Amino acid sequence: MSVFDHADFDNHQMVAFKSDPKSGLKAIIAVHNDILGPAMGGCRMFPYSTSDAALSDVLRLSRGMTYKSALASLPVGGGKSVIIGDPRRDKSRDLLLAMGDFIESLSGQYTTAEDSGTSVDDMAVIAERTQYAAGMIEHEKHGGDPSPITAYGVYQGICAAVEYKYGSDLKGMKIAMQGVGNVGYHMVEMLTKAGAKVFASDVSTKNIERVVHDFGVTELRLDELFSANVDVLAPCALGGAINSESIDSIKAKIVAGAANNQLKTPEMGDVMLERGILYAPDYVINSGGIIDVYYQSQDIRDTDKIEAHVLGIKKTLLEIFKRSETEAKSTSHIADALAEDILRDSLQKKKAA
C-alpha cells in the first residue's frame, strides 16, 4: 500500500500506523493540517474490508476536519483516527487503552473524540492513557455525547436552506431522512416540534421503530427514500449517499443532513447545482459536533455559549448559498474556497509574525 501516492493523500502532514498484537489494535491516525491549531477529530471503529479502505477513510475524513474546523471558526486543525475492527465484536478495554497510548505517543498533535463505532464510555477508557481525548465531560443540558448539539446545528442548517429556497419556516415541510441513529433521533425531535412532517428509512429496525413510536415518523422502504416526493432530503447515515445511482431519482430541492462525505465524488455538487438542488455542504452543516468537542477540550460546559457558536452555521450556510447563486458555482465548491481562504490567510499571518 502506498501512502504518499495514495489518491486521498492530499499533502497530509502526518499519518501514523499502530499495530498492537497483544490487544488486537490496528489503527491509523491522520493529521491533515495544523495551520489553525493542533488537529482534532473523532475516532472511528469499523470492520474495513482492507487496510487500504481504512487508509482512504481516515485520509478523507481528516481532510474534511481541516475544512470543517476552518469554517466553524475553531482554532484547531484537521485530524481523524480509525480502528480496524468490528466495534460489537472486537472492542475491548485493552484495545482502547492501547489506542490511548498510541494517541499519547503523538504528544498532542492529535486530540480524539467519539465517532461511529466509539462512545462516550470508550473515550473515558482512552482518556485513562492520554490527556488528548475529549467528548466525555458532562455539560449543562447534555452528557459528553456531541450528537444532540450536532443535531441542533443540522436542524438550524435545514432551517437556513428552507428559508433560502422556499422563503418559509419548517411548518408543513416534508423531510426524508436516511438514518435515524444518534444524530438523526435528535433531529427528528426538533424537526417535528417545528411542524415538519418527517419520513425516514433505516437499516436498523430498532432505530426506525423508536422514531415511529416517539414522534410519529412515517417509515419509508430503503429503496423509496431518494425518490420520495419531499422538500428536503437529509442524509444522516454513512458517506457517499449522493452518487451517480441515487442522484437522478432525487425529487427534493434541498439536500441537507448530518452525514460526513455525502458526495461520492466532488462532481455531485455540480450536478445538484445544474438540477436546481440546494446542497448544504456536509462539513459546514454538521460542524456542531466538533464545536462541542472543542469546548469540552477547553473544559467549557456552558451550553448557551456552545449553542450560540453552533448558530453560526446558519450564517455561514446563507453566505455560501448566496455566493453559489451569484457565482454560479456549486455550494461545495464555494465552501472549499472559503475554507482555503481562511487557511491561506492564517498561514500568511503566521509567516509574517
Point out which residues bind ligand NAD (CB under 6 A).
116, 146-147, 150, 178-184, 201-204, 207, 222, 236-238, 258-260, 286, 289
Helix-strand-coil split of the chain, %, nearest 5? 45, 15, 40
Which position among 68, 80, 197, 253 bears the catalytic label? 80
In whole angstroms, the minimum distance from the beta carbon of 222 to ligand NAD comes to 5
* Grid cell at residue 200: 425516514
Which residue number, 207 or 227, has a Cβ lying nearer to ligand NAD?
207
Which residue number, 162 or 310, has a Cβ lying nearer to ligand NAD?
310
Question: Nearest Cα to 315, choosing from 346, 338, 349, 344?
Answer: 338
Which residue number, 129 or 192, has a Cβ lying nearer to ligand NAD?
192
In whole angstroms, the minimum distance from the beta carbon of 22 to ligand NAD comes to 29
N residues, the chain:
353
Which residue number, 32 or 129, has a Cβ lying nearer to ligand NAD?
32
| Cα dihedral 65, 68, 70, 74 sign | negative
Identify the three-state secondary structure at position 232. Answer: strand
Which residue number, 98 or 145, has a Cβ lying nearer to ligand NAD?
145
Asked if 249 contacts 275 with a C-beta cutoff of 8 angstroms, the reply is no
Within 13 Å, how many C-alpha atoms sit on residue 328's CB side?
A: 1
Q: State the DSSP code for 287.
A: T
In whole angstroms, the minimum distance from the beta carbon of 204 to ligand NAD comes to 4
Amino acid at 56: S
In whole angstroms, the minimum distance from the beta carbon of 326 to ligand NAD comes to 29
CA distances from 248 to 226, 260, 271, 306 (A): 9, 21, 9, 38
Which residue's C-beta sits nearest to ligand NAD?
181
The whole-angstrom separation of Cα 194 and Cα 13 is 43
In whole angstroms, the minimum distance from the beta carbon of 348 to ligand NAD comes to 30
Question: Nearest Cα to 259, choosing from 279, 277, 285?
Answer: 285
In whole angstroms, the minimum distance from the beta carbon of 262 to ligand NAD comes to 8
Asked if 131 contacts 59 with a C-beta cutoff of 8 angstroms, the reply is no
Q: What is the DSSP string of 10-55?
A: TT-SEEEEEEETTTTEEEEEEEEE-SSSSEE--EEEE--SSHHHHH
Q: If 0-12 CB within 10 Å is exposed, 13-18 middle and 19+ buried, where does residue 300 land?
A: middle
Which residue number, 77 or 289, has a Cβ lying nearer to ligand NAD?
289
In whole angstroms, the minimum distance from the beta carbon of 154 to ligand NAD comes to 8
Task: Identify whether 80 is a catalytic site residue.
Answer: yes
Which residue number, 98 or 149, has a Cβ lying nearer to ligand NAD?
149
Largest CA distance in the chain: 58
Catalytic residues: 80
